[in-house]
Chain A
């Protein structure tokens, strides 16, 4: 592993700056590895916006450096136009009130009931997921 913390830090800052809607999550939108990440990416998907998503699980330093940048302790973290919007609680609250649609410049869907947990097959279990589910 030759990547340095500085390189990770710089990569994250660039990802936040270059992507108008940037989500850091556990897993991917297609295969989320945590319920909070699943709901947050689900809200963005339901609004039909294009967003970049990055899985923070492959290297624990991604999360360390991200939290150093954002001063926010938990995952997921949603950035819009370079600014931290919040984690799952704030994003879901803003989704339900229509504030998220407004922020992202899209129409609020008529049905904003939180989606039921998906029944996709379980991803391969790793120790970290078991601990942080």
Chain B
């Protein structure tokens, strides 16, 4: 079990890493099935301003690189700007 908790990312890990990559972002992360592999993140950041949804999601996916589809099997995203999307 000690091993498991080390290798499985936690919601706090994900939240911190997104916040580091997008300073000032408001980030909520939930573990959808409690297994540490299907997450949902809601990210509000002014960095998304003027970007398409694709570009917004890519900014977040880029934080995790190859871990998406690997250690993190699924990361469901909802992104918006502080003033609302679009």
Q: A73-B68, A74-B69, A132-B73 are in contact. Are A93 and B78 (CB under 8 A)?
A: yes
Task: Tell me, rounded to whole Å, the shortest Cβ–Cβ distance linking B17 to chain A.
Answer: 15
Task: Tell me, rounded to whole Å, the shortest Cβ–Cβ distance linking A90 to chain B.
Answer: 5
CB-defined interface of B17-36 with A at 8 Å, one 1/0 digit per residue?
A: 00000000000000000000
CB-defined interface of A94-133 with B at 8 Å, one 1/0 digit per residue?
A: 1000000000000000000000000000000000000111
Q: Which of A74, A84, A86 is the most central at the interface, judged by chain B CB atoms within 10 Å of its CB?
A: A74
Give which listed residue, B57, B68, B69, B73, contacts A89 with CB less than 8 A: B57
Q: Tell me, in angstroms, the Cα distance from A84 to B74 when the chains sit together.
A: 19
CB-defined interface of B41-84 with A at 8 Å, one 1/0 digit per residue?
A: 00000000000011001100100000011000111111000000
Q: Tell me, in angstroms, the Cα distance from A52 to B78 when the chains sit together.
A: 26
CB neighbours of B69 from chain A (8 A) = 63, 73-74, 132
Of chain A, the residue at the smallest CB distance from B54 is A86
Q: A73-B68, A74-B69 are in contact. Are A89 and B58 (CB under 8 A)?
A: no
Q: Is the CB of A74 within 8 A of B68?
A: yes
Q: Is the CB of A86 within 8 A of B53?
A: yes
CB neighbours of B78 from chain A (8 A) = 89, 93
A88 within 8 A of partner (CB)? yes
What interface size band does chain A fall in?
10 to 19
Q: Tell me, in angstroms, the Cα distance from A71 to B68 when the chains sit together.
A: 12
Give which listed residue, A72, A74, A86, contacts B74 with CB less than 8 A: A74
Give which listed residue, B53, B68, B74, B75, contacts A90 with CB less than 8 A: B53
CB neighbours of A36 from chain B (8 A) = 74, 76
Q: A73-B69, A74-B68 are in contact. Are A90 and B76 (CB under 8 A)?
A: no
CB neighbours of A87 from chain B (8 A) = 57
CB neighbours of A84 from chain B (8 A) = 54
Task: Tell me, rounded to whole Å, the shortest Cβ–Cβ distance linking B40 to chain A.
Answer: 9
CB neighbours of A73 from chain B (8 A) = 61, 68-69
Contact residues of B with A, CB < 8 Å? 53-54, 57-58, 61, 68-69, 73-78
